[in-house]
A and B are shown apart, each in its own frame.
Chain A
């Protein structure tokens, strides 16, 4: 009955600086929902992209129904019976549902045949659709239905779903699960990519857990609890902490109170009643899996978005929630958003010019609207020397630096002005180990000199290494804070997976 449909053997895929899949080996059984669970960057996406013909593996074989399976494009993968529904939809907004479906079909089909087929699919799998509605008028759940129907028209044996519930309401999730069950009953196989523990337990039969590109475990979900899944997903984290709490003053200088924000956008997470306090010299960490409201929260902390629904931000007893970025910098608040290229730095500009993106009152960069180039260059050289940025000089374009060097430069720029508080998102994302180490060191040193720091990061190891307090953001809600030296990793893992006890 439940024989294997897909054998994945020793798949390895490397990118510059990172091995995304290391000898990945596991089998997927026919007629089941098979989950792949892992943190961001665990290698899930790379693996499914290989299956769907979007990436070519460096090594390893895949067998579909015991026959060698090798595809170079999604069209070939679909021909062989593998379909995929992406997290971000690829639909033409101005066209109708029917037109979108026609465009997605690889082979020729008459209009009436198509309508019959659609009728059949809609009723069989609980996928009601208004064929003449334009895509713009649909909710995220309905758009996803169109995507699923489009794939089902090709009659796939295996359906890959990438984080399918991330854009859905709870009701839509329910209805998706009904559809998935109907598909499995018919003998199809679902490969379900997720980081949500609850979903793995409730609808998946088997689960493969990935961490840092490797397979940790493949087993039946009936043997697993949310706790065991969380532990396996996160692994054994460092527990000999050297975090020093001695220098922290018992004085709150940054307080976020009941911040809520609605976006009306399925790809953004609404923020719900977020509150936290940071004391002088404290490093406060915000953990969580990507897409749970981190970038939305970051925009509100930096002042890039001041359209909040309710709540307040207080810094040094001033209400600053309506201040834009420059007004916040004037109060000695400094920020480093997640994305270096095009957000905290402009790749096309020189290192010197990039200094001017972030000006503090005591920087003497501009007089009567004219740039004082010597002062800017001196500042840039200073950052380059002090933070060991490897570059030919301050006139090198930011794009010519490696990720780690540019990040050191950006963080150096912010730290050099000795801010009272530094708000930083994903400080060591995508950079080499050497730069990672030196950035963490400089953050710790900065806090010991009395700067408060807020770190938003998906990298739990990093937060545990450098923070004093930590809380978890999930679905736009922030958990209560824990002292980093006392909290159990398991507890954080459960919160990250949306399980609150």
Chain B
């Protein structure tokens, strides 16, 4: 007789092929589960899935929107992979994004009536610095006081959001804004150039692709990328090799923060054009799913960011055409993560039923 509940046993060897298929399997299972949810809600699943996943990108405008959403997701996710490869669980990218928007946007507000070529580069630089500084706080706490970076980086998200809140209702409020909680608009030269007339996709996409390429180079060709990887796989081996793990933690957090900060700045100087309360629909958190769905690999992250960006667009269309709350988008994101983690577990472990006597 076998026991009722299986026990989890480590596999001696995990399959490399399955490793590659994990993201695809997760997406397929998500679609199946999604269909079941739609059926239970009383919708025709084919029509619902079409509304959710196909109709949003059946126009040029829709595809442009897909890239608008995918840009911050991919940029933050590639930044997060510096941390995750090093086994650092920075989940505070949303806060680093917000700080980047504050620093870069602050420059934009300061020079709101200046039109000069240097303004946007300066804002991008300030955004990177803001994000990096915010990312360094959990790095210092972790290396000096051994605090858990999951908690500190998460808590700092709310601190950053409150700072932004304070600024846009207080000192940075638009004097001509009828008391709305928003800042002055940035000047024209403080805005991300649009790539195509009439579409919202902007120069941030180019920056993102460039930084993804740079990261690919760092991960695969440099000793720094190698050190991050070793220290993530085995801190003991990194110590044996003589790699300075404190420095690695600092760099990982600073780079991740800088990338998230640039993403934040790109949002406010791109589609938004000023600072206000809700600059990000949780891009910083969703990017965690993107990073893992993309297996922390630059190419994987590009595809994953498109898939997850689609859930944002799909949720909007579902609200419009099916009258379902847009939170269904988060359900899909959650399902992807759930199946991803589950499949990951089953790659390395198997379920066995113990024999009872």
Could you tell me which A residues sit within 8 Å of B by CB distance? 72, 302-304, 324-327, 329, 335, 337, 339, 342-349, 353, 356-358, 366, 369-371, 373, 400
Contacts and interface: CB of A to CB of B under 8 A. Distances in A.
B226 A356 contact: yes
B237 A325 contact: no
Interface of B: 13, 221-224, 226, 229-230, 233-234, 236-237, 239-242, 357
27 contacts: A72-B357, A302-B240, A304-B240, A324-B242, A325-B239, A325-B240, A325-B241, A325-B242, A329-B242, A337-B240, A342-B233, A343-B234, A346-B230, A346-B234, A347-B233, A347-B234, A349-B230, A356-B223, A357-B241, A358-B240, A358-B241, A366-B223, A369-B223, A370-B222, A370-B223, A371-B223, A400-B13
A345 B221 CA distance: 20
Contacts of A356: 223, 226, 241
Contacts of A325: 239-242
Contacts of A370: 221-223
Contacts of B241: 325-326, 356-358
Contacts of B237: 342-346, 357
Given A369-B223, A371-B222, A357 B240 contact: yes
Scoring B224, B230, B236, B242 by chain A CB atoms within 10 A of each residue's CB, the highest score goes to B242
Given A303-B242, A337-B240, A366-B223, 14 more contacts: A325-B241, A325-B242, A326-B242, A327-B242, A342-B233, A342-B236, A343-B234, A344-B237, A344-B240, A346-B230, A347-B234, A349-B233, A356-B223, A370-B223
Q: Give 3 closest A-B pairs by Cβ, nearest first.
A: A326-B242, A325-B242, A357-B241
B223 A342 contact: no
A494 to B, nearest CB: 34
Given A346-B233, A346-B234, A371 B240 contact: no
Contacts of B230: 346, 349, 357
B232 to A, nearest CB: 9
Contacts of B223: 356, 366, 369-371
A371 B239 contact: no
Contacts of B233: 342, 346-349
Contact of B226 (A302, A337, A371): A371
Contacts of A369: 222-224
A348 B357 CA distance: 37
Given A349-B229, A349-B233, A371 B242 contact: no
Nearest to A70: B357
A343 B239 CA distance: 8
Nearest to A344: B240
A353 B241 CA distance: 12
A353 B234 contact: no
A327 B244 CA distance: 12
A358 B238 CA distance: 10
A295 to B, nearest CB: 11
A125 B153 CA distance: 50
A302 B242 CA distance: 10
A325 B233 CA distance: 19
A304 B239 contact: yes
A434 B241 CA distance: 28
Contacts of B224: 369
A254 to B, nearest CB: 19
A369 B222 CA distance: 6
Most buried by B among A304, A339, A357, A358: A357
Contacts of B239: 304, 325
A375 B295 CA distance: 29
Nearest to A325: B242
B15 to A, nearest CB: 13
A342 B231 CA distance: 10
B221 A343 contact: no
A342 B238 CA distance: 9
A353 B226 contact: yes
A295 B230 CA distance: 21
A324 B13 CA distance: 35
Contacts of B226: 353, 356, 371
Nearest to A348: B233
Contacts of A302: 240
Contacts of A400: 13
